[in-house]
Structure 1
Amino acid sequence: MKVNDSSNSNENMLQAAEYVEKPESQLKIMWETLRQNKAAVVGLLIIGFLILIALTVWISELMGKQILPYDPNYSDLSKSFIWPNAEHWFGTDQLGRDMFSRILDGTKISLFVGVAAVAISLTIGVILGAIAGYRGGKTDTVIMRIMDMMLAIPSILLAIAFMAALGKGLDKAIIAIGLVSIPEYARIVRGSILSVKENDFVQAAKVIGNRSSRIIYKHILPNVISVIVVRATLGISSAVLDTAALGFLGLGVQPPFAEWGDMLGRARGFIFTAPYTLIFPGVAITITVLAFNLLGDGLRDAIDPKSRIK
């Protein structure tokens, strides 16, 4: 009998040790899983390259230096519609502006709008979802019904409505795109909290007198942060698409600033005479959105424990 008790005790100790080591090694396991996903690695490399371009262009502008081949906003009508060549790699647009310089300059705008919009929607959505999921009752009903009403309207139409109320411009586009994505984060956080809040460690935190805000921040959100990170990564790709759509309609970033959607919108009249003016901005949007989707899918597979079971 003593032998069995001893073996059971050793087994419990091993399980406890494994439990303690798991949080420490979880990040490493996730990274190794992500590294094995070739598509996610490609997406990560592309995103890193885009971020490098955006930061380089932005820092050079702050320092008053021009590192791009040409001024992206300088127009020379005598050089309009020059097809791609050794001097202008992507050709020139209807105003004689270098397309390659404008594509590179537009990288910082698209990434900035995408990240800033996700930051807005993520912050507000997490707060609303946490309150709804933790408090429940009428609070949950009111918040989620508002979210459902917003979800019932296509995001681009809702963004256009916000832009109509706020006006045109970069800052307005960030706010509009950020607002339309709030319901997605609120629903994800609410569902995750509902599955976590009845666990023993949450109940124990309540018993010892922790405030609700502390319980949510210290005990609940850390257990759902992985889901939020995955959705935020995918959300950036959606924000880039929405930015391009608003720019295409003339509601987003205003001239003379280079923005891929605006470039598409202004070039659609030259689809037969100068198709490259549409191709290059379209390819830039496609590559950026694809990269964030690949990384988001890879993160989801790496974070989900079921995907690591072979």
Structure 2
Amino acid sequence: MEPKYSSNPDENLQAAEYVEKPESQLKAMWETLRQNKAAVAGLFIIGILAIIALTVWLSELMGKQILPYDPNYADMTKSFIKPNAQHWFGTDQLGRDMFSRILDGTKISLFVGVTAVAISLTIGVIFGAIAGYRGGKTDTVIMRLMDMMLAIPSILLAIAFMAALGKGLDKAIIAIGLVSIPEYARIVRGSILSVKENDYVHAAKIMGNKTSRIIYKHILPNVISVIVVRATLGVSTAVLDTAALGFLGLGVQPPFAEWGDMLGRARGFIFSAPYTLIFPGIAITITVLAFNLLGDGLRDALDPKSRIK
């Protein structure tokens, strides 16, 4: 995209600085992100969580046990053992090692979060792009549907979807993915409305490009930063929704370890064994905080105006 020059030399200089090669933009983004200590901390935590999740998942595929204990093995003779050298986070009401279950739950929370965001992002981008580019009745119909979904609290809508779909991991992914579609649709639509009247879009139309090519080749790349930031923050929301559904007994079903389900089943022992709630709660908090910190950092790093001095 060519910059629009003005009679003001200072503005022209800023415009010239703004037009960078993709490699330069990526490098500048990384430099800005690296200077944000909070974002780096979030990225570091997410990296650790991803390594844990992948390691646990791969070990299960190979039939090996790398966790200190089998996270699903119940031994009633070891119920409610307080945190010690053998069981760092103690054991739950069924005698299962809490530390192993927290680590095992990492793969479920991240998998549900990332997969649900992928579903909502894909569908939301398509709807938002069509509504923003087409306008008119198409825009009205799509956005009124999105408004109807946004009028209902996301957790209540997710519960409604779960009631229709049933319980289970795959159902939870679909439900959480569906409730987030309106947010991405509105963001993409608003971003497209702000850029679709630019000269390079009109030039693409004159050259005979198809609508789909104009949207995905010329428009979406210019709003990708907004989408990336929202998707990063969306993972944290999906993790919270997963925990909420698990807490209500509608999400991932036993014996699989899921942080929300662990909280829900331990709420009756808040006074006798508070550690059974504290550690899953800390895991959820750290994960959500990490994605929020990274999302905030990406928002600043991907804003070109922040790099124009």
Mark yes or no: TM-score above 0.5.
yes
Q: Which amino acid aligns with 1:175?
A: I
Is 1:32 paired with 2:31?
yes
Q: Deviation per CA, 1:174-197: give whole Å up to 9, x if none.
A: 000000000000000000000010
In the other structure, the counterpart of 1:238 is 237
- Indicate the residue corresponding to 1:155 in structure 2: 154
Deviation digits for residues 269-301 of structure 1, max 9, x if unmatched? 000000000000000000000000000000001
Asked if 1:131 corresponds to 2:115, the answer is no
1:11-61 residue CA offsets vs partner (Å, 9 max, x unmatched): 9x9999756644331111110000000000000000000000000000000
Q: CA 1:208 to 1:274, structure 2 compared with 1: closer, same or farther past 3 Å?
A: same
Q: Are 1:288 and 2:280 an aligned pair?
A: no
Identity %: 90
Deviation at 1:307, TM superposition (A): 3.0
- The answer to whether 1:41 aligns with 2:31 is no
State the match for 1:221 in structure 2: 220
The residue identity in structure 1 corresponding to 2:298 is L
SS of aligned partner of 1:210: coil
**Residue in structure 2 matched with residue 256 of structure 1 by the alignment:** 255
For the aligned residues, what is the CA RMSD?
Answer: 1.7
Question: Per-residue CA shift, 1:194-237, capped at 9, x if unaligned?
Answer: 00100000000000100000100100010011100000000000
1:82 is matched with which residue? 81
Could you tell me which amino acid in structure 2 is paired with residue 181 of structure 1?
S
Whole-angstrom CA distance in 1 between matches of 2:202 and 2:308? 30
Structure 2 unaligned spans of 5+ = 1-6
What's the counterpart of residue 51 of structure 1?
Answer: 50
From the superposition, tell whether residues 15 and 291 of structure 1 become closer, same or farther in structure 2 (CA, over 3 Å): closer
| Structure 1 residue aligned with 2:111 | 112
The alpha-carbon distance between structure 1 residues 293 and 14, as it changes in their structure 2 partners (threshold 3 A), is: closer
Query: CA shift at 1:256, angstroms?
Result: 0.1
> Amino acid of the residue matched to residue 237 of structure 2?
S
Q: Quick one: distance in 2 between partners of 1:57 and 1:85?
A: 23
> TM-score w.r.t. structure 1 length?
0.94
Tell me the CA shift for residue 304 of structure 1: 1.3
Q: Greater Rg, structure 1 or structure 2?
A: 1
Q: How many residues align?
A: 300
